[in-house]
Amino acid sequence: MSGERVFAYGGGWLDRAGDVRADAERLAALRSDERTAVLALWRDRCLVTAEDVPVRLTGDAAARVFAVADETVFLGLDAGAAVFAADLTGQPEARALDVAGAVSAVDVRRLAGRLSAAEAAAQAYGRGLLHWHRQQRWCGACGATTAARAGGHVRVCTAAECGRLHFPRIEPAVIVLVEAPGEPGRCLLARHAGSPEGSYSTLAGFVEVGESLEDAVHRELAEEVGVTVTDLVYQGSQAWPFPAGLMVGFRATAVSDEVRVDGVELLEARWFTREELRARVAAGRPLGRVDSIDRHLLGSWLDADGRDS
């Protein structure tokens, strides 16, 4: 991955070992292997120690979690040792914490910046898969129950006359740093409905059926702020399994600086100079979430004039 920008929840070190998923006997053997590690989650939150470190259980501790988990998923191999994620949502919180030897359940996003890239990626990966399992317990085609297969990467309809296979779905979204035409350099930020006064962020939206990523950029900007853009440039992508997103970042240039917010999703949009953004940072207003690609989009734009952000 030399030369590539790695965002939070990406750059995982696991070998996802697709061939192992299809081998039921090997998966069963791995579950009882002393080297196997289990990441325990409860209601989409990772279980952590008193030091806010996610539990990583092996041996007898892993066996106890396997015995009571609602669902387990095979995440991959770490230097040959298996890594699973286990969902303890069906247990009362106190019981889940006790079984996992944890003291609290926290959103992995709260730990952003403190976990290594590999740890954050594994936690988010497990969270996304386990969330999907809870949402896909019934077949969308016939309504029968579904069962997990392939180490938790497929669910199969149990109705003999159906047998439909269900796979985890990814929900792609675009996120865009829009620049004004001409000088001075300015970027467009917006305040979303429900956001505090004075809180601004880059523009984003989900990709719809039948759209390319570029189509989605054009549509979202036209709908939300009435802006037409050119010169779309891909900036990178970020896994965002909360619950199943993939954020795809772009920069683009507006044809004009006229802005017209939709008044529904967005309450306000305005152009910011680099100096204004730096003043906001100095006043304690962060440039996007610490774990989100929007911080990179804003930071790289600030750096584009050759000065540090």
Any idea how long the chain is?
309
How is residue 5 written in tokens? 């920008």
Cα-flanking dihedrals φ and ψ of residue 170, to 5°?
Answer: -105, 135
CB atoms within 10 A of CB 263: 10
Residue 172, preceding peptide bond in cis (omega within 30° of 0)? no
Closest CA to 192 of 265, 299, 121: 265
Q: CB-based burial of residue 278 (10 Å sphere; 0-12 exposed, 13-18 middle, 19+ buried)?
A: middle
Taking the C-alpha atoms of residue 65 and residue 72, their distance in angstroms, rounded to an integer, is 9
Q: What is the pLDDT of residue 306?
A: 47
pTM, two decimals, is 0.91
Based on C-alpha coordinates, what's the Rg of the chain? Answer: 22
CB atoms within 10 A of CB 294: 21
- The owner of tokens 């770490």 is 78
- CA pair distance 153, 149, nearest whole angstrom: 7
pLDDT of residue 19: 95
Give residue 3's pLDDT.
54
pLDDT value at position 232?
A: 97
Question: Could you read off the pLDDT tens digit of each residue along the chain, which spans 309 residues?
Answer: 445 677 899 887 899 999 999 999 999 999 999 999 999 999 999 999 999 999 999 999 999 999 999 999 999 999 999 999 999 999 999 999 999 999 999 999 999 888 988 999 999 999 999 999 999 999 999 999 999 999 999 999 999 999 999 999 999 999 999 999 999 999 999 999 888 888 899 999 999 999 999 999 999 999 999 999 999 999 999 999 999 999 999 999 999 999 999 888 899 999 999 999 999 999 988 888 889 999 999 999 998 874 433
